[in-house]
Chains A and B, each alone.
Chain A
Amino acid sequence: MQRFVLLLLLLAAMLPLAADDAVLIVPPGPTTDTFVTLRLNVWCNPIIRHTVTRTGSVIVVEATPQSGTCPSPPFDLPYDVPLGLLPSGQYSVEVRIPFQTFTDSFVVRNAGPGEVEIRPFAVPTSPIGSRVRAVYPFGCAGVNCKDVTIDVGGVAVHAAQIQGSNDGSIFFTPPPHAPGLVDVTITANGTSFTAKNALYYYDRNAEPDPSVWERILFPVLFNSKGAHGSDWVSEAAIHNPGRWFVENFNRIDTLPCIDYGCSDLLSPDGFLSFGGAGYANGVALLVPRSEAPHVAFSLRVRDVARQAEGFGTDVPVVREEDMHRDGIPLTLLDVPLDPRYRTKIRLYAFDDASNFGFVALHKPSNARVTAFTIPMSRSCSGVACAATPWYGEVDLPAGGTDERVNVYVTPGGYGAMTWAFASVTNNETQQVTIVTPDGRGGLPCNPTCPVN
């Protein structure tokens, strides 16, 4: 029995990868233009070598960790496996280490300019109301495009579903299809053009693939009464400037939905403004990565009880590139502790089931003032969890008059995608100033800082 327990302990000590997000794809939405790296989140014994075998779209990594026991406490030892540039496709990854195997999958989008441009990239498996735009060398003849046939993943598009546009492009309704990547072939006057892996069909009821969808964080979408008679509302806006439809995975607005699509289907040049509600702890809009860079957002919080005094405060809508994903604390510089203000830090984390965040306050001289451990939680189920961040908040204690500190915030573990900001509210006027992170930053005196 004693030997058995010893063996179990030894096995546990040799598990070098973190349980959550053991394998990260870097960048999170790779294309044929991006160098792809697999980041293995190692917690115990460092990996000392690896081999990679790629057979078609199956990638197998054999990793060899250093022998020995896990140090106490364990610390992050991320290990990068470079894969390089990959052709477009849907890849599965298997990472094998002694006694454990981790699997993941990801999509590599085609970034190269082809003969046919297809937008948007992602459509649901039952695409009711969806419209896809295609640009190819020959425009179609007339509005009805009688000279054009379209094949999507082996399924012909019904002729009645193909329409010409006044800019030479064509719009068509994609046929239902099983999940995954498909080719699109357009034939006009006997000449065919094929766009490889041009469309990605997704199941609305299945977990969204993070390599296809970017999470765009709206940090606060709420309306509520506050202190000193304040009446807070948030006002959000979304604009799709493209000439094609964009179909998001989810909805975050409060607008009534009478017909299918509603605001998850943004029309060309579509603009949507709405008052936020129901997401006081933040929510992500999942936008197809191929379309996300072009879609514009804005968010503002206002005290409408004092709307004659000001127009409110701009709050960033946070794209993934603005979030951190390496365990380095987010840096909020020059935050006041002056007793005339109340300062709240809000913490957000995706992907990592971390129950705690960490906030440290340092003087400009780097000496630590104090630190807090912050409980983080979320309430969601099923696919909605992909859009729901882990959330925590802390009210900073008032300090001396004009006192300012630098705040270092760690909302989650190494594999988490994190963000944080401070709101500084004047106790009398309710004017809000926000402080957001800029740059990787991090503690200036890692690993040890002087205390006070």
Chain B
Amino acid sequence: MQPDVPGELTMRTLTLFLALSLSLFAFAGDTGGVHVLPFGPTTRTPVDVHIPMICGFDGQTVARVGNVFKVTLLSPSCILTIPIPYLHTVRLPGLLEVGEYRVEVFLAGQDNVHGSTTFVVRNAEPKPFEVHPFAVPTFGGGLRLRLTGVACGASCDGVTIQVGGVPATGLERAGNDAIWFQAPERREEGLVDVRVQVGGAVQVSPGALYYFDEPERSVFERILFPVLFATDGANGSRWRSEATLSNPKPWYVENANTLSPVRPCLTYPCGERLDPEKVETYGDGYPRGAVLLVPRPEAPELAFALRIRDISRQAEGLGTQVPVVRESDFSHGTGVTLLDVPVDPRYRVKVRVYMIEPLPQYGQNAQLRLRNTVTRATTLTRTFQLSAGGRNEPHYAELDLPAGAANERVNIHLDLPLDATAWAFATVTNNATQQVTIVTPNGSGLQP
């Protein structure tokens, strides 16, 4: 065998890279590097498939069989000795109808699937009636659903509701044009139609509900609470976080998890049910941040607030608001930038970095760069990794910045692994008073 020549394809490098690509594509279901954007597609959003790559290819084909898309990358080849990871994006043809889909990625000439993902397309078209919440646990769990847009009498006689072909029970009038009913149990996860019959008139809302065991990413939005803790700190400080969640709507919302550290989990899935028109509070248990999984149709309606306070000095101030971070606030594949952060020695600065799924396929190293805001020179570069969290926690890293000169300020640039979905913020704490100022990102995080 001849020695490898840089930049030239040889049998050994090809074998190596094919083996590497096999291992890097080796994931199951929708947990690997292949995923769709937007994370929660609807019938009105084009769907892009993101495929992490290290090798080249020469064209592609996209074939659809039912609700399965087969993407075949043609003539895969690796011509570089040092592979450069990149992202290949495939736009699925047309707008998709409501349903559950699967995408399989093949390398031409190979039979096995090298990457795949599944997703749900929600119905964004006008509906004959609305049903909330969208996500229902398969065991039902006594969840009451609210159907709006159909009137019934006091006992709802003459009205029948079918959920995926199963008659619903417990119908009860909920106002002039709304009905409560009991969510029936269902053995399988997935979308179901809801059918309403009033007298001889029948109306159907396709894909109106989704039954779940596992929290499907395209059904549940990840909402990050960056800090939920109660702890004692430096200089006699006693830190508390106060989180508030409001469900202003007249229906229940079934989250796929709970952030309450003391709530017993007796059933599976172990979600948390938000009562209609109620305000909940949290405050402890997740110093590395926590991710709440909220059904996407209901997530925009919920309101959140989070504040951290030093209660040993509560006469001095009410504390500092920390953003509750929705998926749209995360950067995706760009990085994170924090502008105009002081590194004055009177303050201590900590940068907290969060990452949620889908996790990057290639490389786990992230890099922090500090650039002086006046000279624009890079004053510090540090490589770090984010570590996996526990249940309900994001991947996380925190870095304490070294003190700079008096009144010095820097821009913080975080270069993150390819295709990372990330967020970060800095806390600036006065050493004497413990007053906290936070600096949050605003912008896509594109790195200069």
Distance, CA A219 to CA B340, complexed state (A): 18
| Smallest CB gap from A299: residue in B | B442
Q: Which of A162-170, A199-207, A431-439 contacts B (4 or more CB under 8 A)?
A: A431-439
Q: Which A residues touch B445, using CB under 8 A?
A: 296
Q: Which A residues touch B442, using CB under 8 A?
A: 296-298, 316-317, 319
B29 interface contact, C-beta 8 A: no
Distance, CA A341 to CA B309, complexed state (A): 15
Asked if A297 and B305 make an inter-chain contact with CB atoms under 8 angstroms apart, the answer reads no
Asked if B437 and A33 make an inter-chain contact with CB atoms under 8 angstroms apart, the answer reads no
Asked if A314 and B438 make an inter-chain contact with CB atoms under 8 angstroms apart, the answer reads yes
Q: Which B residues touch A297, using CB under 8 A?
A: 339, 442-443
Asked if B307 and A433 make an inter-chain contact with CB atoms under 8 angstroms apart, the answer reads yes
Q: Which A residues touch B319, using CB under 8 A?
A: 433
- A294-309 vs B, CB cutoff 8 Å, 1 = contact: the mask equals 1111101000000011
Asked if A431 and B316 make an inter-chain contact with CB atoms under 8 angstroms apart, the answer reads yes
Q: Which of A41-49, A100-108, A441-449 contacts B (4 or more CB under 8 A)?
A: A441-449
Distance, CA A434 to CA B441, complexed state (A): 17
Asked if A439 and B435 make an inter-chain contact with CB atoms under 8 angstroms apart, the answer reads no
Minimum Cβ distance to chain A for residue B248 (Å)? 4
Distance, CA A431 to CA B316, complexed state (A): 7
Asked if B303 and A439 make an inter-chain contact with CB atoms under 8 angstroms apart, the answer reads yes
Minimum Cβ distance to chain B for residue A78 (Å)? 13
Q: Which B residues touch A382, using CB under 8 A?
A: none
Minimum Cβ distance to chain B for residue A365 (Å)? 9
Asked if A35 and B44 make an inter-chain contact with CB atoms under 8 angstroms apart, the answer reads yes
Q: Which of B124, B324, B430, B446 interacts with A438 by CB under 8 Å?
A: B324
| Most chain B beta carbons < 10 A, residue from A235, A300, A321, A438 | A438
Distance, CA A429 to CA B304, complexed state (A): 27
Asked if B305 and A444 make an inter-chain contact with CB atoms under 8 angstroms apart, the answer reads no
B312 interface contact, C-beta 8 A: no
Q: Which of A271, A317, A438 interacts with B411 by CB under 8 Å?
A: A271
Q: Which A residues touch B339, using CB under 8 A?
A: 237, 239, 271, 273, 296-298
A259 interface contact, C-beta 8 A: no
Distance, CA A35 to CA B44, complexed state (A): 6
- A226-257 vs B, CB cutoff 8 Å, 1 = contact: the mask equals 00000000010101011000000000000000
Given contacts A35-B45, A309-B432, A314-B437, contact A336 B318 (CB under 8 A): yes
Asked if B376 and A271 make an inter-chain contact with CB atoms under 8 angstroms apart, the answer reads yes
Name A's interface SS.
loop
A52 interface contact, C-beta 8 A: no
Q: Which of B46, B303, B328, B446 interacts with A294 by CB under 8 Å?
A: B446
Given contacts A310-B433, A435-B321, contact A293 B340 (CB under 8 A): no
Asked if B318 and A293 make an inter-chain contact with CB atoms under 8 angstroms apart, the answer reads no
Of residues 313 through 328 on chain B, the ones whose CB sits less than 8 Å from some CB of chain A are 315-321, 323-324, 326, 328
A313 interface contact, C-beta 8 A: yes
A333 interface contact, C-beta 8 A: yes
Q: Which A residues touch B340, using CB under 8 A?
A: 235, 237, 273, 298, 300
B428 interface contact, C-beta 8 A: yes
Asked if A442 and B301 make an inter-chain contact with CB atoms under 8 angstroms apart, the answer reads yes
Minimum Cβ distance to chain B for residue A295 (Å)? 6
Q: Which B residues touch A388, using CB under 8 A?
A: none
Distance, CA A436 to CA B307, complexed state (A): 11
Of residues 325 through 340 on chain B, the ones whose CB sits less than 8 Å from some CB of chain A are 326, 328, 337-340
Q: Which A residues touch B249, using CB under 8 A?
A: 442, 444
Q: Which A residues touch B318, using CB under 8 A?
A: 336, 341, 424, 426, 431, 433
Minimum Cβ distance to chain A for residue B87 (Å)? 12
- B275-312 vs A, CB cutoff 8 Å, 1 = contact: the mask equals 00111000000000000000000011111110100000
- B199-236 vs A, CB cutoff 8 Å, 1 = contact: the mask equals 00000000000000000000000000000000000000
A183 interface contact, C-beta 8 A: no
Q: Which B residues touch A320, using CB under 8 A?
A: none
Minimum Cβ distance to chain B for residue A305 (Å)? 14
A364 interface contact, C-beta 8 A: yes
A149 interface contact, C-beta 8 A: no
| Most chain B beta carbons < 10 A, residue from A308, A310, A321, A332 | A310
Minimum Cβ distance to chain A for residue B438 (Å)? 5
Minimum Cβ distance to chain B for residue A293 (Å)? 5
Q: Which A residues touch B304, using CB under 8 A?
A: 333, 438-439
| Smallest CB gap from B294: residue in A | A439
B246 interface contact, C-beta 8 A: yes
A331 interface contact, C-beta 8 A: yes
Distance, CA A268 to CA B447, complexed state (A): 11
Q: Which A residues touch B46, using CB under 8 A?
A: 33, 85
| Smallest CB gap from A334: residue in B | B244
B160 interface contact, C-beta 8 A: no
Q: Which of B124, B246, B320, B448 interacts with A333 by CB under 8 Å?
A: B246
A440 interface contact, C-beta 8 A: yes
Q: Which of B301, B337, B443, B444 interacts with A441 by CB under 8 Å?
A: B301
Given contacts A311-B430, A364-B279, contact A433 B320 (CB under 8 A): yes
Asked if A311 and B305 make an inter-chain contact with CB atoms under 8 angstroms apart, the answer reads no
Q: Which of B321, B324, B432, B443 interacts with A433 by CB under 8 Å?
A: B321
Asked if A340 and B444 make an inter-chain contact with CB atoms under 8 angstroms apart, the answer reads no
Minimum Cβ distance to chain B for residue A268 (Å)? 8
Asked if B303 and A333 make an inter-chain contact with CB atoms under 8 angstroms apart, the answer reads yes
B346 interface contact, C-beta 8 A: yes
Distance, CA A441 to CA B245, complexed state (A): 10
B373 interface contact, C-beta 8 A: yes
Asked if B248 and A429 make an inter-chain contact with CB atoms under 8 angstroms apart, the answer reads no
Minimum Cβ distance to chain B for residue A255 (Å)? 14
Distance, CA A113 to CA B441, complexed state (A): 27
Asked if B95 and A85 make an inter-chain contact with CB atoms under 8 angstroms apart, the answer reads yes
B342 interface contact, C-beta 8 A: yes
Asked if B448 and A269 make an inter-chain contact with CB atoms under 8 angstroms apart, the answer reads yes
Distance, CA A428 to CA B339, complexed state (A): 30
- A280-292 vs B, CB cutoff 8 Å, 1 = contact: the mask equals 0000000000000
A sample of 12 inter-chain contacts (CB < 8 A) reads A297-B339, A309-B430, A310-B436, A311-B342, A311-B435, A316-B442, A331-B248, A428-B315, A433-B317, A435-B321, A436-B321, A444-B248
Known: A298-B340, A311-B430, A314-B438. 14 other contacts (CB 8 A): A33-B46, A35-B45, A239-B448, A241-B448, A271-B411, A294-B444, A331-B246, A334-B305, A366-B277, A426-B316, A426-B318, A428-B316, A438-B324, A441-B248
